[in-house]
Amino acid sequence: MFKVHLVCVGKLKESYLREAVGEYAKRLTRFCALDIRELPERATLQEEAQDILRAAKGHVIALAVEGKACSSEEFAEKVAAVRDRGEELTLLIGSSYGLAPEVKSAAKELVSFSKMIFPHQLMRVILLEQLYRAFMILSGSEYHK
């Protein structure tokens, strides 16, 4: 089964965010083996970078505001390309301070979901919804209209 790793810095504090993440994680079991890894917030981005880089596997996509914006269909194509090559996919979400430059450099791609900045905890829900949407697009489902 296709392995997808979500590596994020910090714990979800709000129960409604944990519930949303749980719902999308459950939905994704049809399509992939999802591993969500929460890393502790550190004193510096460089310390966080070491933890993130140790946890990253396969094709790494980092979420960054300066990354390339893509549509849901384009994101689905990225996911399919990694899956079809037989690689694992790692998606990175940094802390409220973002990601260290060395993490961005190590990533194969930087993706932006918007020019706006979202709370990193909420971004986890948005990313999982878009990952679910990507798989639904790839399966030809009506979910994506």
- Return the CATH number at 83: 3.40.1280.10
pTM score: 0.95
Domain count, the chain: 1
**Residue 122 within a domain:** yes
**Residue 145 within a domain:** no
What is the pLDDT at residue 21?
98
- Return phi, psi of residue 33, to 5°: -95, 105
What is the pLDDT at residue 145?
61
In order along its 145 residues, the chain shows pLDDT tens digits of 999 999 999 999 999 999 999 999 999 999 999 999 999 999 999 999 999 999 999 999 999 999 999 999 999 999 999 999 999 999 999 998 999 999 999 999 999 999 888 888 999 999 999 999 999 999 998 876 6
Nearest to 43 by CA among 100, 91, 105: 100
**Residue 144 within a domain:** no
The helix (H) or strand (E) run that includes residue 88 is none
Nearest to 20 by CA among 7, 9, 36, 3: 36
**Residue 143 within a domain:** no
Cβ neighbours of 71 (radius 10 Å): 9
Which residue range is the domain that position 124 belongs to?
3-138
Contact in structure between 61 and 112 (CB atoms under 8 Å):
no
What is the pLDDT at residue 29?
98
**Residue 119 within a domain:** yes
What is the pLDDT at residue 22?
98
**Residue 102 within a domain:** yes
**Residue 16 within a domain:** yes
Rounded CA separation 29/46 (Å): 33
Residues 6+ apart with CB under 8 A from 123: 63, 93, 113
